[in-house]
């Protein structure tokens, strides 16, 4: 399973760290099954900022899990377990509905201060549902009354590349609902320029590894510069992930990157702290 997760056609050696992970994964899997009904899951929202104006444009929904004994769990640990066990299907649908409902509440509260849209991460396991996922997304939009263009769905580059052909049809169906699509963690996978052209992405999120070091490493700078140019020249919107310093922000602005997300602007926040989080 570890080899499969590492991208198949490879092998791995069983070691202590894997043993420790496996020993935790059983209890985590069992606890996940009841996490929703016990109210242990919540969603934080992180502002995505217009780099020209400094204003919040949209927000990304990020899942949080606080277990009574295990404490706050890292998504990097529990999301892969939820994917392996299939729990991510129910949880992902819950996130989608919650996020849409939350966006509608912000609109009702203060439309001028509310984010213009909301981004929700999709797992490859949800993508494998094919047309059922399209139904789930459509239901979430219809039942909450959220306008489709305010919803953005994020798919990571790695997951897209596992089966780009199959993904294309699904992405087209999701786009035809009116929802927007974003390619997440760009630069960490193996996609080609053709992949950017062939899929209906509205925006591309440049991975944090190309943002960290931007201000002092000329190789990172060269790649980030070229990446922003390709994204923008293809008519898509560039978003930088994990912006932490003023120096990174200044460089991104000089490169013409349009949006940014990171602790420099705001960390992921509980919903009641989002409006007015970025008063400029
Ligand atoms: P992601 O979609 O790339 O989300 C961005 C991650 O970067 C988040 O980690 C966020 O907290 C973190 N981050 C934001 N600003 C900064 C910064 O300035 N510096 C650094 N170092 N990190 C920053 P988080 O919340 O731990 O989530 C990790 C990943 O888990 C997400 O990466 C996403 O792939 C996945 N995930 C989170 N929520 C969901 C969900 O509802 N469904 C699915 N399928 N995956 C989710
Ligand atoms: Mg994301
Ligand atoms: Mg990302």
pTM of the model: 0.94
Does the beta carbon of 92 sit less than 6 angstroms from any atom of ligand 1? yes
Residues, CB-to-ion distance under 5 Å, ligand 2: 121, 154, 184
- Ligand 1 atom at minimum distance from 88 CA: 44
For residue 6, report the distance from its CA to the centre of ligand 3, in Å: 18
Does the beta carbon of 260 sit less than 6 angstroms from any atom of ligand 1? no
pLDDT digits over 171-196, tens only?
999 999 999 999 999 988 887 787 88
- Ligand 1 atom at minimum distance from 63 CA: 38
Does the beta carbon of 46 sit less than 6 angstroms from any atom of ligand 1? yes
* Terminal alpha carbon distance of the chain: 48
132: left (phi over 0), alpha (psi -120 to 50) or beta: alpha
Does the beta carbon of 152 sit less than 6 angstroms from any atom of ligand 1? no
- Phi, psi (5° rounding) for residue 182? -125, 140
174: its two tokens: 């999701």
pLDDT digits over 130-141, tens only?
999 999 999 999
Note the pLDDT of residue 279: 67
């Amino acid at each position: 399973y570890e080899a499969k997760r590492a991208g198949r056609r490879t092998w791995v050696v069983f070691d202590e760290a894997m043993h420790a992970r496996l020993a935790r994964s059983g209890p985590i899997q069992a606890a996940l099954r009841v996490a929703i009904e016990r109210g242990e899951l919540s969603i934080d929202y992180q502002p995505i900022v217009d780099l020209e104006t400094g204003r919040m444009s949209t927000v990304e929904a990020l899942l949080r899990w606080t277990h009574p004994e295990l404490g706050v769990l890292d998504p990097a640990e529990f999301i892969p377990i939820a994917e392996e066990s299939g729990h991510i299907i129910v949880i992902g649908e819950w996130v989608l509905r919650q996020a849409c409902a939350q966006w509608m509440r912000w609109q009702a509260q203060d439309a001028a201060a509310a984010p213009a849209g909301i981004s929700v991460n999709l797992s490859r396991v949800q993508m494998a549902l094919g047309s059922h996922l399209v139904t789930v997304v459509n239901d979430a939009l219809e039942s909450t009354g959220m306008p489709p263009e305010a919803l953005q769905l994020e798919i990571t580059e790695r997951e897209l590349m596992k089966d780009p052909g199959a993904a294309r049809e699904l992405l087209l169906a999701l786009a035809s609902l009116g929802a927007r699509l974003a390619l997440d963690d760009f630069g960490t996978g193996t996609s080609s320029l053709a992949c950017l052209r062939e899929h209906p992405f509205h925006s591309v999120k440049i991975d944090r590894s190309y943002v960290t070091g931007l201000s002092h490493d000329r190789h990172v700078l060269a790649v980030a510069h070229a990446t922003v140019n390709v994204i923008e020249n293809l008519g898509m919107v560039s978003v930088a992930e994990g912006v932490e310093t003023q120096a990174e922000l200044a460089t991104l602005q000089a490169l013409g990157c349009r949006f940014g997300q990171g602790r420099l602007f705001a960390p992921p926040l509980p919903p009641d702290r989002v409006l007015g989080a970025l008063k400029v």
